[in-house]
Structure 1
Amino acid sequence: MSASAAGPDWGIFEGRTLSLLHPASMLGMAALSVSTALLGFQWRRQRTIGGEINELKAQLPNLNGAKTVSEALAAAQSAEMVDTSYV
């Protein structure tokens, strides 16, 4: 009885080409899986960044009714001017 791989029945596909086709396709699938995972993490970050922004906004100091930071700075500087005759 002869071996089943004895003759060149498949031509070029019977040697190195077909034997490397499976590992190459598996490497491609692994690369696709990694890129999909990274894209999913980016989308998750984009979905949850709104909550992080709200938490950071809650940590900001009260501007005492000022609508902008420049208005709050001007109000703080005017409050720091003290009449030296009372001191």
Structure 2
Amino acid sequence: MTVVRIDVTLDPDHRQGVLDALREQPDVVSVTAGAEGFDVELAGYATDAARARASEILRTVTDATGTDLGALALAPDADASDGATTT
């Protein structure tokens, strides 16, 4: 499994809706909320594929929640790679 970090700039109420929508995605195993974003664990993806899938998920979630896509962004690889990839 691979973890992708998503940087988030949302108010707390809207943040919860996005968190819930992420957790509803079929290939999301878990989502951990932190102060600056979410760590999204995806099943069955290598790192590059997980980042591509996370981008697709972000578009789906922003459409479903009415969130501005600019409020959610994939963290740079360096931030997400410290022990974030597991098998």
Shorter-chain TM-score range: under 0.3
Higher strand share: 2
Higher helix share: 1
Bigger relative contact order (CA 8 A; separation at least 6): 2
Larger radius of gyration: 1
Structure 1-normalised TM-score? 0.24
